[in-house]
């Protein structure tokens, strides 16, 4: 059933997708949804259902498409027991990285993990890109350093 749902999810209307997720949540529960639902269909999982999660690991989210609100909630939820590097390496969770979190990241950490940000720039909002650009501006504020061109575009 999982592969059939995943294969045909793009042909379903949002209402149909929501109805399927609601039915699975009712009959199986949130753990089953997290385990079986992949891709875009996962974005239909309501935050109220995610509140019931327990024991979630970042690996369970690697093939999920998250909305911004899901990503923010899950990033916050997982950050209590998971390192920042594991969170940003998960891809879709990067959407949950707030400007405040970007500014609190250690300089060395941010530079070492820039490739993970770069690989997932398409997931970041213009606001997040601007925060990241300003953070890099602060880190690389020396005559011999250069800010990546894609971040320069995010600066005013």
Residue range 87-134, pLDDT digits in tens: 988 888 999 999 999 999 988 898 899 899 999 999 999 999 999 999
Confidence of residue 153 (pLDDT cuts 50, 70, 90): confident
Confidence of residue 4 (pLDDT cuts 50, 70, 90): low
- The confidence score (pLDDT) of residue 5 equals 66
Residue of 1 and 140 predicted with greater confidence: 140
The answer to whether residue 142 scores a pLDDT higher than 70 is: no
Specify the DSSP element, H or E, that contains 86. Answer: helix 84-88
Return the structure tokens found at 99. 């400007």
Task: Label residue 88 exposed, middle or buried (CB < 10 Å: 0-12, 13-18, 19+).
Answer: buried
**Contact yes or no for 30/50 (Cβ under 8 A):** yes
**Cα–Cα distance measured from residue 90 to residue 57, given in angstroms and rounded to the nearest whole number:** 10
DSSP symbol at 97? -
Whether this prediction's pTM lies above 0.85 is answered by no
Taking the domains of the chain in order of start, what are their residue ranges? 1-96, 97-156
Return the structure tokens found at 100. 């405040």
Q: How far is CA 119 from the centre of its chain?
A: 13
Residue range 29-63, pLDDT digits in tens: 888 888 888 888 888 888 888 888 888 888 888 88
């Amino acid at each position: 059933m999982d592969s059939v749902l995943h294969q045909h999810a793009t042909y379903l209307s949002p209402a149909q997708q929501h109805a399927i997720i609601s039915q699975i949540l009712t009959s199986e529960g949130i753990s089953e949804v997290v385990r079986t639902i992949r891709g875009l269909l996962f974005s239909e999982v309501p935050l109220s259902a995610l509140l019931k999660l327990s024991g979630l690991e970042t690996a369970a989210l690697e093939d999920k498409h998250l909305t911004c609100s899901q990503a923010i909630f899950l990033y916050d939820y997982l950050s209590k027991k998971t390192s920042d590097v594991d969170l940003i390496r998960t891809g879709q969770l990067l959407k949950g990285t707030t400007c405040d979190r970007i500014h609190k990241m250690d300089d060395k950490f941010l530079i070492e993990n820039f490739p993970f940000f770069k690989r997932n720039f398409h997931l970041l909002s213009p606001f997040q890109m601007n925060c990241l650009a300003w953070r890099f501006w602060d880190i690389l504020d020396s005559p011999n350093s250069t800010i990546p061109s894609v971040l320069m575009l995010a600066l005013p």
